[in-house]
Amino acid sequence: MSGKLSCSIILVLGFAGLLLAHGIACAEEDVIVNTTTSSGKIIFQENTSHGVHTLARASADFGTDMVFSNSISSIETGTGRSVFTATWRNNQKNEFGSAKTAVFTLTVWDPTGLPHTAARETGRVNSGTLSVSCFPLEPGEGRFEFTSTIREKRLSLSAMFDR
């Protein structure tokens, strides 16, 4: 075989491989396998001390595709700087060939409705704490949500051919 023919064959095969890889990447869908949200209210008051408050806990289990979450229903804190936390844990690693991720999101709305958010995405066994600072100057009622979601990237043949 001549050098030019070999080079042409390699280029064509490489180009075909790139097209196939792009087609597969475009055909992936991000599917929500399971999600749960726990929430509550936060009462910001004058003449009450502010500080650090744990609001919720959550865990995800890739083996059962389950997410668990619990939270307090309400909390009182002072105006000024308060820190709100939520703990999370991912209990099980991905199975071979799986593309699951756990996403944990803590959002705190101050009395004016301004959201303060922290999030963490993980695909392996680990744990941590999300922390959100809030500094309302006026008293009032706020709220919080702690959402736990398992997502998975899946190949979708219909998505590949619809493009």
Read off the amino acid at residue 54.
T
Give per-residue pLDDT as tens, 6-44.
766 776 666 655 555 555 555 678 888 889 999 999 999
**pLDDT (0 to 100) of residue 120:** 95
State in Å, rounded, how far the first CA of the chain is from the last one. 38
**pLDDT (0 to 100) of residue 65:** 87
Give per-residue pLDDT as tens, 52-97.
999 999 999 888 889 999 999 999 999 989 999 999 998 776 666 5
Query: Which residue segment(s) compose the domain that 35 sits in?
Result: 30-161
**CA distance to 84, 97, 133, per residue, from 141 (Å):** 15, 46, 16
**pLDDT (0 to 100) of residue 29:** 80
| Count of structural domains, the chain | 1
Instruction: Judge whether 8 lies within some domain.
Output: no
Instruction: Judge whether 133 lies within some domain.
Output: yes
